[in-house]
Amino acid sequence: MEISVLVADDHPMLLRGLVDELKSFNYNIISSVENGAKALDDIISLQPDIAILDIEMPLLSGFEVIQKCLDKQQTTKFIILTSHKQKGFISKAQKLNIQGYILKDEPSIELHKCIQEVFKGGTYFSSEFNKILENQISPEIEKIKFLSPSERTIVRLVAQGKSSKEIGELLSISSRTVEKHRSNIIRKLDLSNEMDALSSWAQEHKELILSI
């Protein structure tokens, strides 16, 4: 069965090379675009089986395209093809339940395997993706699970850049109570006692915190 594919990447040379590579595997490339807005339009109008998206693109990011398609209940399956392997991007991909995540520096056969697996209804992730998920993200999730509901609320607000005073006002508690919560959170997360330790951790794990 012929698999229809849309490809989106804002680097024209990479896009052309990717299209040629996919054609060599006999995929039906029904659209190749250089920005997220055009990708969204074509996914909605052309209904490809698979959409392969870069993350950082003009107008809409790959993640924003996927979120909008999910909101519209599109049936297209999504693969992220990117250079990014930071925890924040992987947490975001996990939150969106993206079916595939492949790094651009991997052999093209990996993308081919990914398309085949995703088309069949499975998932396929770069080995680097799985390594970061297993060694860096999952342990942090386990730590967060030990936080009380109140502490999780405070961590979310810290991740949004709120000060203890602002958090206190939002939750109708004193700044002193917020500081006590912060101390407990730092202990449970096994962070250092440096002044900005919790804020730095919350920023680094923002996507993860907001997804739980």
- The pLDDT, as a whole number, for residue 52 is 95
CA distance 6 to 24: 15
- The pLDDT, as a whole number, for residue 212 is 60
The domain limits of the chain are 4-135, 146-211
Radius of gyration of the chain (CA): 20
- Listed in sequence order, the residues at least 6 apart from 65 whose beta carbon sits closer than 8 Å to its beta carbon are 8, 36, 39, 40, 43, 51, 53
- The pLDDT, as a whole number, for residue 137 is 67
- The pLDDT, as a whole number, for residue 108 is 84
Q: Is 51 strand, coil or helix?
A: strand
Residue 95: CB atoms within 10 Å: 15
Q: Does domain 4-135 have CATH number 3.40.50.2300?
A: yes
- The pLDDT, as a whole number, for residue 138 is 67
C-beta separation of 34 from 15 below 8 A: yes
146-211: CATH, from 3.40.50.300, 1.10.10.10, 2.60.40.10, 2.130.10.10: 1.10.10.10
- The pLDDT, as a whole number, for residue 175 is 84
Ranges in the chain, pLDDT < 50: none
- The pLDDT, as a whole number, for residue 4 is 95
| DSSP classification of residue 57 | -
The values of phi and psi at residue 177, to 5°, are -65, -40
CA distance 86 to 119: 26
pTM of the model as a whole: 0.70
